[in-house]
Structure 1
Amino acid sequence: MSGLLSPGSQVAADLLGDQALIAALLQTEVAWAHALAAAGAVSTAQAEAVAAAADTVVIDPHSTAEFTAAAGNPAAPVAAALRAQADAAAPAVHRGLTSQDALDTALMLLTRNAFRQIATDLSTTADALADLAREHRDTVAAGRTLTQWAVPVTVGLRAAQWLTGVLDARQLILDRIEELPVQYGGAAGTRALGAHLAPGESDVLPTEFARRLQLRSPQLPWHTRRSPVTGVGDAAVTVTDALGVLAADVALLGRPEIDELRERGAPGHGTSSTMPHKQNPVRSVLIRSLAAQTPLLAAQLHLAAATAVDERPDGAWHSEWRAFVQLLESTVTTASLAAPLATGLEVHTDATAARVEAAAPDLTAEGGSSVGDPASYLGDAGRFVDLVLERHATGTRP
């Protein structure tokens, strides 16, 4: 399918499309060939021939679709094409790996690229929200709880809450990047190739494999222990959760009858097909849509993890792939939409002040029957903003 029903997803195409997956699988196979050479299982010349073949082989996902269906996974046709291109070095291609080793590792490479882009966009979003919180640290606004008037808050505190969610999510993404592992277990998770190597040489394989790819070398294979996959999913959903809250507030506060906040779009952005006077909050709408979908994709990853059996699963693993890539795509898209949303937010202070004045009796009712100054009911709002701004500036965790 095209991206017509996934607006904004074009930003993820180069990171997560079929060609990106093929490139990651080839990168995995080349790193593995070099690891085999480091362990003495193949020659250095063979490993270099495999790398040269990976640079020149052409693999079209459409032409290999039938092979992929017959093999049950995309790693097999990529390995076969690489073997054919490697000619005399073919025995060094995929030796000792299983398809799950190759595909799991390739998906971790895609995750790293996606998460790096997400982290960059979250940093842009955080900077914009920090500016908003700083500028409106003391701008009094009407607080609402359970849809009704509560006590006064500030626009700066709202922005600081959004910012905290973004900072938490970004930290999870950065932490997860450092934990992404290679997969190497062989046919049944025993790393059986080690039996054909001298003592100590088998330990070289996973460490050199990981070093070549700049991923982590796990102590054990994780064919049926899917916490690396569910951990990626949980980090991704934390991002869309945080950005979903931002988008929901912007959409609500931007309603014309409220008009305290507005999403500013470029010319032609958010236009209606029938009402030319409208400027719809398209970024907020799309972010909310994605935030409503991603938890179910993460749930699919947990369902697959809970139903893995034997030494390699018979369908549970396969059910991860589409959900995993869709979740990454949705999160990349969400983060890419949030950065310009946050950068272009407009605070309508006149409308905010008028609402505080009109609702003052309810906003200050906690203090007694008489109407007081709403600004005197702010509690620690300013201090909270300062704490979040300090965290943003220094990078320290609370």
Structure 2
Amino acid sequence: MSDLLEPGRHRAAGLDDEGLWNALLQVERAWLTARRAAEQFRAKAAVRGGASAEPGAAPADRAARRADPAAVAELDKAIADFDSAVANGVPRPGVEAVEGAGSPVVELVRILRSLVGDEYVHRGLTSQDVLDTALMLFAKDALGRVDTYLTLTAASLGELARAHRETVMAGRTLTQYAVPVTFGLKVAQWLVGLLDARDAVRAIELPVQVGGAAGTRSLLGELTDVPDAVVDAFAAELGLQSALPWHTRRTPITRIADVLAEACAAAGVIAGNILFLGRPEVGEVRERRSAGKGTSSTMPQKANPVLSVLIRSAALQVPPLVGHLHTCSALAVDERPDGAWHAEWPAFTRVLTLSVTALSQTADLVGGLEVDAAKMAQRAQEAAGELLAERGTGDDPAEYLGSATAFVDRVLERWDRG
């Protein structure tokens, strides 16, 4: 990825290799913490005399060994050593080492075990567990930012819809004049698209991935009598949801991508409309101008609508990436995919960064939008003959608006309800 060829990518800071490395470290630490929580539970159960009485418990000698309070102390030390290693800076592997391993996790574990010891680090997990869970942390970050930007943009649209509830303008269908509408209605429709997208973003579940080598949690079952409690504690530590393994059931990835595509599409509609209405021959809206924004390298008179252009670019790029992720999902075979999983990584992270960037730009675009209501009214009046052709009589476009203002009010009521 290139900051030079992807203008605005700095808005998605943190969703990069450095951020991924930190997320991987966070996952490995959370796993140690979750195992400690399970050992504490077992130790308390042993004191109560119930360690081997639970359904599915191991033989008494194994249960007693697992419930040994000394294990909690050992895990405490492992966590302290882990934190010390992170504080001193866990070195990232070279690109050749990552290529040789096939994923960053293998090298991560090798490095951690050289710093912390290998008795507890990563035990019970597989590489896919760590990377998939780290990507869920990435998605959590991205979705939180997208939610914020959608809310900021919706607030600006709500103000515009109220201000222009009765601002008459020419309606257009298939590029030609249709009947009169209001700019408030156009903005209200944009607002509905954003609110629908925000609802979808907020409904997304982000599950941890814990399946072990082949989705059975076999080693975890050897390490503890309460594997589900470990997974629950792991999810709670990361602020994610506990779930069944999904190594080859890739709907967590595709659903996130789908809702982000919806959000980018809603932003793309806004940008596309502003690009048309901002053309010099139309001139009904324009992006706010500021020093250095939208300048041309050769034509000093120009103020290019750069935010709209970049948002539209993202809206065009995201859907093919989402389609690619669905293709990968359909090819997720065996107990871990041979290439289809790997092909997800760049596409999924690209969807995240494009979405965060575009929705941030949309908030700025709408927050600074300049509306020429007089130009809208003038054009509607000049085109009254065509705009009122369906009606057959009259010369005042403001008298032929149907339920436009009522629709605006309904949308604003939804926005006001939160």
Question: In the TM superposition, what are the counterparts of 1:52-63 in structure 2 within 5 Å?
Answer: 52-61=83-92, 63=93
Separation in 1 of the partners of 2:94 and 2:405?
60
Shift of 1:13: 2.6
Q: Which residue of the partner structure matches residue 166 of structure 1?
A: 194
Q: Which residue of the partner structure matches residue 34 of structure 2?
A: 35
Question: In the TM superposition, what are the counterparts of 1:69-80 in structure 2 within 5 Å?
Answer: 69-80=99-110
1:346-384: per-residue Cα shift (whole Å, max 9, x none)? 11112111110111011111112x334211211111011
Separation in 1 of the partners of 2:259 and 2:215?
27
Question: In the TM superposition, what are the counterparts of 1:1-398 in structure 2 within 5 Å?
Answer: 1-14=1-14, 16-40=15-39, 43=72, 44-61=75-92, 63-87=93-117, 90-176=118-204, 179-197=205-223, 199=225, 201-218=226-243, 220-368=244-392, 370-395=393-418
Asked if 2 retains the 8 angstrom alpha-carbon contact of 1:108 and 1:181, the reply is yes
Instruction: Tell me how many residue pairs correspond in the alignment.
Output: 386
Shift of 1:55: 2.6
Task: Name the aligned partner's letter for residue 384 of structure 2.
Answer: A
Separation in 2 of the partners of 1:267 and 1:175?
40
TM-score (norm 1): 0.94
Shift of 1:54: 4.9
RMSD between aligned residues: 1.4
Q: Look up the SS of the partner of 2:364 in the other structure.
A: helix
Shift of 1:60: 4.7
Shift of 1:38: 2.3
1:264-288: per-residue Cα shift (whole Å, max 9, x none)? 1321110111011110000000111
Q: Is 164-173 or 181-190 further displaced after alignment?
A: 164-173
Residues 30 and 102 of structure 1: CA distance in aligned 2, closer, same or farther (over 3 Å): same
Task: Name the aligned partner's letter for residue 35 of structure 1.
Answer: A
Separation in 2 of the partners of 1:99 and 1:50?
22
Shift of 1:118: 1.2
Shift of 1:48: 2.2
Separation in 2 of the partners of 1:165 and 1:64?
44
Asked if 1 retains the 8 angstrom alpha-carbon contact of 2:381 and 2:396, the reply is no
Asked if 2 retains the 8 angstrom alpha-carbon contact of 1:137 and 1:382, the reply is yes
For structure 1, the 5+ residue unaligned runs are none
1:139-185: per-residue Cα shift (whole Å, max 9, x none)? 01100011111111000001101111111111211222xx1010000
Structure 1 runs, 4 residues or longer, greater than 6 Å off: none
Separation in 1 of the partners of 2:91 and 2:277?
48
Q: Look up the SS of the partner of 1:366 in the other structure.
A: coil
Task: Name the aligned partner's letter for residue 129 of structure 1.
Answer: L
Separation in 2 of the partners of 1:30 and 1:60?
16
Separation in 2 of the partners of 1:58 and 1:2?
26
Task: Name the aligned partner's letter for residue 163 of structure 1.
Answer: L
Separation in 1 of the partners of 2:242 and 2:81?
22
Residues 318 and 59 of structure 1: CA distance in aligned 2, closer, same or farther (over 3 Å): same
Shift of 1:49: 2.8
Separation in 1 of the partners of 2:352 and 2:164?
34
For structure 2, the 5+ residue unaligned runs are 40-65
Separation in 1 of the partners of 2:213 and 2:166?
62
Asked if 2 retains the 8 angstrom alpha-carbon contact of 1:152 and 1:374, the reply is yes
Separation in 1 of the partners of 2:234 and 2:357?
31
Q: Is 260-269 or 130-139 further displaced after alignment?
A: 260-269
TM-score (norm 2): 0.89
1:192-224: per-residue Cα shift (whole Å, max 9, x none)? 02432554x122111011011110001x20000
Shift of 1:47: 4.2
Separation in 2 of the partners of 1:143 and 1:118?
31
Asked if 2 retains the 8 angstrom alpha-carbon contact of 1:365 and 1:371, the reply is no
Shift of 1:123: 1.1
Separation in 1 of the partners of 2:121 and 2:87?
15
Asked if 2 retains the 8 angstrom alpha-carbon contact of 1:153 and 1:381, the reply is yes
Asked if 2 retains the 8 angstrom alpha-carbon contact of 1:129 and 1:159, the reply is yes
Shift of 1:50: 4.8
Separation in 2 of the partners of 1:152 and 1:231?
38
Asked if 2 retains the 8 angstrom alpha-carbon contact of 1:49 and 1:86, the reply is no
Task: Name the aligned partner's letter for residue 180 of structure 1.
Answer: L
Q: Look up the SS of the partner of 2:180 in the other structure.
A: strand
Task: Name the aligned partner's letter for residue 185 of structure 2.
Answer: L
Asked if 2 retains the 8 angstrom alpha-carbon contact of 1:224 and 1:309, the reply is yes
Separation in 2 of the partners of 1:253 and 1:270?
17
